[in-house]
Each structure stands twice: as structure tokens, then as C-alpha cells.
Amino acid sequence: MVNFADVVAADGEQRERLIAELVGEMTLREKLNEMAGNSSDLKLAVMALAYGKWTFDSGGCRRLGIPPLRFTDGPRGVCMGHSTCFPVAMARGATWDPALVMRVGDAIGVEARAQGANFYGGVCINVPRHPGWGRCQETFGEDPYLLGVMGVASMAGAQRHLMACAKHFACNSIEESRFYVDVRVDERTLREVYLPHFKRCVDAGVASVMSAYNKVNGAYCGQNLHLLRGILKSDWGFDGLVMSDFVRGVRDGVEGVMSGLDMEMPRRWRFGGRLKRAVRHGIVPMDTIDDAAARIIRQKARFAAVGEPGRYGKEKVACREHTDLACEVARRSMVLLKNEEGALPLDRDSIKHVAVFGRLADRPNIGDRGSSRVSPPFVVTPLQGIRDRARAAVQVLYDSGKDLHRARQLAVWAHASIVVAGLDYHQEGEYISKHWAGGDREHLGLSAGEVELIKAVADESERCVVVLEGGSAITVADWVDEVEAVLLAWYPGMEGGHAIAEAIFGDVNPGGRLPVTFPASESQLPPFDKKAKSVDYGYYHGYRLFDKEGMTPSFPFGYGLSYTTFAYSDLRLSDTEVAPGGGVEVTFDVTNTGGVAGDEVAQLYVGCRGSVVDRPLKELKGFQRVSLEPGETKRVSLTVDTSELAYYDAGSSSRIVEACDYEVMVGGSSAEWDLRLKAPFRITPA
């Protein structure tokens, strides 16, 4: 008799043969047990109030030595115990630093293993088609290329220690109607906009993919034959397991299994008696059940020996190394949106009185309180961070801003005023019910009270700085012209207050760049109805839509200022003509032309000229974050693979690398005025 240990000890073709033998020895009950969570009603009731108190377990067979899966969540840290709370994924996207994101994934993997988990579901890579989506904060940005690169980095870091799951497959970007909305999308848009980042994770070896709640073209994602069995398993060759989203992720167990769903979580509802009877009556072939069980066992075997056992002690949870990493990420995610006449950084030698305003200044504000909630042992607020960094040389006073007359008086007294404003879990986050905080945003601006406070303080202050907190784009047109500086902090994690203060006082030079477009007006965005029963997802959103319509945002995708300046020069292409299947190496110089050290995010976009199909003016195809000392120049090298330039032809069900002219554009953001270097090349016929 084959035992699970035999499977683990083997590899390659031998392992696959042993998996088949092991599944052949399993009873139908044992196979179905692998295919569903086993959380009790009591456990689920407790978890509804204290999500992450335990792992969500599934499967396991003592007779054959098969271990259970122990699942935990957490896009910004492990949702168990008092784990490290990192800045939200959108903030990590703003770092444009895959290596740093991988380190975060590694730390999360360690803390998950230390608390008994072997399966992690925090790699959220949905496209935020509209910034009003309540869970934008859980994903890495609006662009499929950026999403894919960052998603792979996060997944790869975590999978040093345990299985990871990429979610939610697919087209999940409306929160309040997520259980019923039907997303209508044509095949080309689906393949080019909403799926490439998932394929990148599949190609990189992600263990699992989680289906979404919503429908796509009339079929629920958990039983969508085209998505799961057609694209994911057949076209892409995914050999991992497909699990449902929790509770309402499966509507029909028989249809789900037939369509390619392998596991129902967090317990058996639709994968129960009816499914068992369907198998016994031949409605569901045993081969289909065997394939699902084999996929689960394959990943269990693959990750059975993965990890570094010496790193999984309880002392690793929220250890100093990880909280320091959280602070580093927060520092590198800060985006300086405005800085008139050197308003920032504040000079401790000349700024002696600082006034801090706003309800969020003295409040822990680390993001959503749904399934991404983390409960760290402490949170450094912006006010605490500013006081710690100001030191004895600077007097810091705080006012909530409720009394505008008092706020004005304090602003007159201060040499610099800092207003902390933005969003919290009341305004955006996972939607559970109308009685639960969170959900989608109907309006993208600040509250009327915060706008009134900013204007009042700006009227009286000689230097007004606004620190914004939130998980996505915030419209600023009604107040931004009245302040001297704006620093975007996102939901900056447990050490965020320190990072904010370091940026304000110049101990850190902000180097983050926007992973989403900040519109000047909501009218510039695609329609968004958070209660929609059906919605059409078009080909354009984000910076691609702004380019197509010739619209000017408040702040473009990829944008961010610095306390120094940068210049680009000497653009060179390895080839001006390349065949399909080849690549073009793009090299250029980036120079720090200012007086302090800083980071620039060099971005490479490619546009297709003369295409036979409608295409974006440009698409992100490469980037690199570069650290430079004053006067220093570094050579940057990025490679564009021609396969990245293909479009999907629905008629032939294939990706086509078009033989025509292309243009490389390099600069500091997606804005036309910020693309400093350009050069043409051509893809020749095959």
C-alpha cells in the first residue's frame, strides 16, 4: 500500500505515478474529505467574530498518512494571533520593489508556519477597475503587468515556507454586489486585462488559485467551466488546486466539480451528500474526483519538505526583524504628491512649533477589518511618530480639528501644520452586510469635515502639509491648491507613524510611486454601481483610459516626487528590428541631479503603432527602482520580451505578436510630459 510519505520521498514521474496509486487506494469518502474544509459550526461562529483565531482546516487521512491543510489569510500579515501588520498591498505596490515585496512574503510565511498554518491565502491580485472598490487596498495596483510582478514576488516569498493561493479568479472588483453581480466581458479584454497577472503566478508555480464569488458572462466563478477548466487548467496547464472563496463560493457542488473546482471552503456544504450520490450514479465521473484529490495531494507533497524549521518558533511572530521590515516597507511606499517651494522636509533647526490635526493623526489606522484584518501587538500612530522624531528641539501640539476656531488659532501659532486625513475601515473594506463597516466608496473625496479642516488650517498656516491615509485613489481637487505639500501614506502598517515622521523631517526621502491613477474628477472613471446586478467590463481603465480619452488626472499612474531631482539620458536599444519570440534590451542612464540621496522608479512603457486592432497608447512593460547618491549615475537595463506585446485574437483563440512598429518610452511616470526618452523598434514578420 502506498503511503503519503512514499509520495513525498519521490519526485518527477515517479511521484505522479505514486499519487495516482495513492488516490486509487482511497475510498470515495476519503477523496471527498480532501475536497472540503472541516470547520465545525461552532468554530465558524467564533471565527465570524474573531476571524483568524484558528486555521481553517481541510482534508487529511490518518490511514494513508495524508496531513490536513491548515489555511490562514492575510494580504497585509497573518490573520492569527498578534502578527506583524505590514503596509497594505497597495502600499507595497507603491514601492515598485519586487525584492522587498518578496521579503514581506517570506516574513508572512514564517509567521504563518509559526502559528500552525501550512496554506496562505493572502495573494490578492484582482484588477481595481475603479478606485471605489472597497478592497483596492488588498491588491498591488491597476496595471496587469505591475500586479503580476508583485503578485509573483509575494507568492514566491511565502512559498519558501508554505502553499500560497492567488485570488480571486476572476473579475472581482465590486464588493457590495460580489455575491451576485454578473461581469460581462469579451474574451480579449478578459485575457489581456483581467487574467495576465494570474497566468504569471501560475507560470511561477503558485500552489492554488481561489475562485471568486461573482459571475463572469453568466456563470458563477466557482462553477465557471470556461474560466476553471478551459483557461486555467487546460490553456495554462495549471496542475495546482482550485479552491472556492469562503461560505458562498460554491452554488452547485456537482456543477462546481465538473467545471474544475477542487475544494470547497471553509466546510462542506455543496460538496456533500448530493455530490457523493452524483458520483455513485455516474453523473460525476470518478476520474473527475480522482483528479481533484490528486491535485490537492500533489501540492501537499510538493510542500511537505519546504521550509526552514529553525525559523518557526513563536518568538518569530511580530519579532523585531519583521516589525523593522514593516517600517522599511512603509518608508519606501510613501508617495510625495505635492511639495511647493520646499515645504517638506521640515528642518528641526528652523521649525520650532508644529501643530498636528485630524481624527486619524492619533488613531491606529491599518486598514480593513474584514478577512484581511491583522491584530498587531502595537501600532505607531502619525502623532506618536511625529513626536518621537521631533525630539526636544520641536514643540508638537495636537488638535482633533472638531473645533475649527481652535484649529485656526493653533495653525497661526505653528511654524508648520500637519493635517492627517483620509479613510479608514468605516469607508472602505470587505463588505459583509449593511450592518458591517466597509464596502465600496460611493464618492472618492475626503469627508466634508476633513475638507473644511484642511482649508481652515491652510488659511492660517504659513506651511500646511496634508498626510493622506487610504487604500486607493482619493480625489483632491477641492482642496489641494490651498496646501503646500501632500504626502500619501496609504494604510502604512504597525510602524507607519515612524515612517510618516521620517519622511516629514527628511530622515527618509520619499521614493514611492503611484500604482493607481488619481483622477481629477470621478466623471473621468468608468461607471461604478456597487449594487449592480450586471456590469460590462470594457477594455480600458486606469492610465490606459486616461490616455485614450486625452484626460488629465490629478496625479498620473507611476507618479511621485522626491526631495531631489533626476535626469534620464543615453537611451539605447539592443536591436531596432526583432523577430517574434525575441526580445529587446533597453538601456539608459538615470542621474541624481539634486543635493540629497534618493530613489527613482524608472518606468518603461511600450506603444504599438499601426496595429490592426484597438490598442492602448502605451502599456507598462518594465520598471526598476534605483537608489542614487547626489550626482550619481546608474545604468539601467530592462528587457522587453516580444511575447509581452501580443494581443489576444478571439477568432483564432491565440495570442498574436503583431509585426509592426513599436515605441519604447522611458521616464518617471505614465504621463506624456514625464516620459523623457523615446525610441522606435520593429517586430518583423515570422
Residue labelled with grid coordinates 540621496: 597
Catalytic residue among 6, 97, 106, 245: 245
CA dist 560 and 65 (Å) reads 53
Tell me the residue length of the chain.
686
| Interior/surface letters 537-552, b for 16+ CB within 10 angstroms, e for the rest | bebbbbbbbbbeeebe
* C-beta of residue 85 within 8 angstroms of C-beta of residue 138: no
Stated as kind and residue range, the H or E segment containing 280 is helix 273-280
Q: Using DSSP, how many helices (H) and how many strands (E) does the chain show?
A: 19, 26
DSSP secondary structure, 328-383, as one string? HHHHHH-EEEEEGGG--SPPTTT--EEEEESTTTTS-----SSTT----S----HH
Helix 496-504 to helix 320-333 angle (10° resolution) is 40
245 a catalytic residue: yes
CA dist 673 and 78 (Å) reads 41
Residue labelled with grid coordinates 476571524: 51
CA dist 411 and 405 (Å) reads 10
CA distances from 474 to 423, 441, 553 (A): 9, 10, 11
CA dist 488 and 601 (Å) reads 16
SS3 assignment, position 256 = helix
| Interior/surface letters 137-156, b for 16+ CB within 10 angstroms, e for the rest | bbbbbbbbbbbbbbbbbbbb
Stated as kind and residue range, the H or E segment containing 589 is strand 583-592
Cis amide bond preceding 168, omega within 30: yes
Q: Strand order of the sheet with strand 395-399? A: 335-339, 485-488, 464-469, 416-422, 353-357, 395-399
Q: Which of 604, 529, 470 has the alpha carbon at shortest distance from 91?
A: 470
Kindly report the number of other CB atoms within 10 A of residue 348's CB atom.
16
Active site residues: 245
